[in-house]
């Protein structure tokens, strides 16, 4: 089932670069402003609602679609930075070399919008070494948005690639997404070096050997040397 080189499914934020210091605070402020403006709420209530939907649905976007019928494209456009990315994203030249050395196809799979993800990848200098990008706009099925950690969507992404799950490796900072991938038979790498945004206890995967990543690294830069340890 593993015939052929691996297919690498790489998360973007906090996996290929550190989004926690500059970008996530920027996005949180922009989301609070969006909710405040669209729903006519004071800033503190808008912020609380943003956090509530993130905890309940795993993404603020899903709560806003379900309960307020917002325009998802407008929301994604207005809550992700573009013009400031040269200031917000730090380039790591070792990363491009590391990805180039990795055998097999490399796709970025992100819950972020396409324009934002493409701009971050350009800023990181990674576009030439990648084979594709699956953004949140691609994670829709039968009229529903199904971002990670949706198992149904992960299964669909792999089906579209026409490969077996055993050939795919999900590289991620999120334990929930690792748990979904393991349940589908993918191999997994947890990237722990950039920290994790934190998960509400109700959404956190239970501890146990089946929930752990096959490999844990501080940075994707270490991946080529660790491939032989991948289970």
Nearest to 11 by CA among 114, 142, 112: 112
Taking the complex as a whole, the smallest distance from the CB of residue 52 to Mg ion amounts, in Å, to 21
Binding mask 169-208 for Mg ion (x = CB under 5 A): ----x-----------------------------------
Asked if 14 interacts with Mg ion (CB under 5 A), we say yes
When the beta carbons of 14 and 32 are compared against Mg ion, the nearer one is 14
When the beta carbons of 14 and 188 are compared against Mg ion, the nearer one is 14
Asked if 92 interacts with Mg ion (CB under 5 A), we say no
For residue 190, what are the β-bridge partners?
A: 172, 216
Q: Is the dihedral of CA 222, 226, 227, 231 positive or negative?
A: negative
Restricting to residues 137-176, name those near Mg ion by CB under 5 A: 173
Among 8, 9, 13, 96, binds Mg ion (CB under 5 A): 13
Asked if 18 interacts with Mg ion (CB under 5 A), we say no
**Which residue is nearest to Mg ion, using beta carbons?**
14
Taking the complex as a whole, the smallest distance from the CB of residue 41 to Mg ion amounts, in Å, to 28
Taking the complex as a whole, the smallest distance from the CB of residue 90 to Mg ion amounts, in Å, to 16
Q: How far apart are the first and last CA of the chain?
A: 14
When the beta carbons of 10 and 46 are compared against Mg ion, the nearer one is 10
Taking the complex as a whole, the smallest distance from the CB of residue 49 to Mg ion amounts, in Å, to 23
The piece of 4-12, 26-34, 38-46, 216-224 that touches Mg ion (CB under 5 A) is 4-12
Geometric angle at alpha carbon 19, from 101 and 166, rounded to 5°: 45
Give contact residues for Mg ion (rule: CB under 5 A).
11, 13-14, 173
């Amino acid at each position: 089932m593993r015939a052929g080189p691996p297919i690498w499914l790489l998360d973007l934020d906090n996996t290929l670069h550190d989004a926690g210091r500059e970008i996530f605070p920027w996005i949180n402020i922009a989301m609070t402003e969006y909710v405040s403006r669209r729903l006519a709420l004071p800033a503190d209530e808008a912020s609380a609602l943003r956090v509530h939907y993130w905890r309940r649905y795993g993404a603020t976007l899903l709560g806003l679609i379900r309960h307020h019928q917002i325009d998802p494209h407008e929301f994604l456009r207005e809550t992700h930075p573009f013009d400031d990315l040269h200031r917000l994203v730090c380039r790591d030249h070792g990363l491009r070399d590391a990805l180039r050395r990795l055998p097999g196809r490399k796709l970025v799979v992100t819950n972020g919008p396409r324009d934002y993800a493409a701009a971050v990848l350009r800023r990181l200098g990674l576009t030439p070494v990648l084979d594709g990008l699956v953004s949140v706009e691609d994670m829709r099925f039968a009229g529903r948005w199904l971002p990670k950690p949706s198992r149904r969507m992960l299964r669909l992404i792999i089906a579209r690639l026409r490969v077996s799950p055993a050939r795919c490796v999900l590289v991620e900072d999120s334990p929930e997404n690792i748990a979904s991938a393991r349940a589908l038979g993918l191999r997994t790498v947890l990237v722990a070096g950039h920290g994790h945004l934190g998960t509400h206890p109700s959404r956190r995967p239970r501890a146990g050997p089946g929930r752990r990543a096959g490999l844990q690294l501080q940075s994707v830069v270490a991946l080529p040397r660790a491939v032989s340890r991948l289970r």
